[in-house]
Amino acid sequence: MRYMLDTDTCIYWLNGVKSINDKMSEVDPDLLGVSIITIAELLYGAYNSANIENNLAKAKEFEDAINVFSIDKNCVKFYAKIKAKLRKEGQILDDFDILIAVTALNNDAILVTNNIKHFERIDELRLENWKT
């Protein structure tokens, strides 16, 4: 089983949340990844923090230690289809969240997030919460 970590889960991991660290130690590192969008969000958080250099170093170390899934043409097609469907249903979702979700779908990965309610609107997306 392949897992893709949502940004919130990565932040919990970087902050040493025990439940996340325990689960991470159980999973083969080759089966873990993040979307390139998550890397962008982590870098934004670092630049927006009071301790920019330290947080940039943490983000870089994290990026070097995990698989990073790119956005490709299939992701773009998934994105357009899902965004249109959600809009028609009145279920607006942030573009970055949709891109994270479609990256998980495109890589046949379970999205690990603490925000299950947020992402469960996307059909076929498999979700787990490692924080609870």
Give per-residue pLDDT as tens, 2-30.
999 999 999 999 999 999 999 999 999 99
From edge to edge, which strands make up the β-sheet containing 67-69? 67-69, 32-35, 2-5, 109-112, 127-128
Domain residue limits at 37: 2-128
| Pair of tokens at residue 3 | 């897992």
pTM tops 0.85, yes or no: yes
Cβ neighbours of 11 (radius 10 Å)? 18
Residue in 106, 104, 131 with CA at minimum distance from that of residue 120 = 104
Total structural domains within the chain = 1
Residue 117, domain CATH: 3.40.50.1010
Give per-residue pLDDT as tens, 55-96.
999 999 999 999 999 999 999 999 999 999 999 999 989 999
Mean pLDDT value of segment 123-132: 94
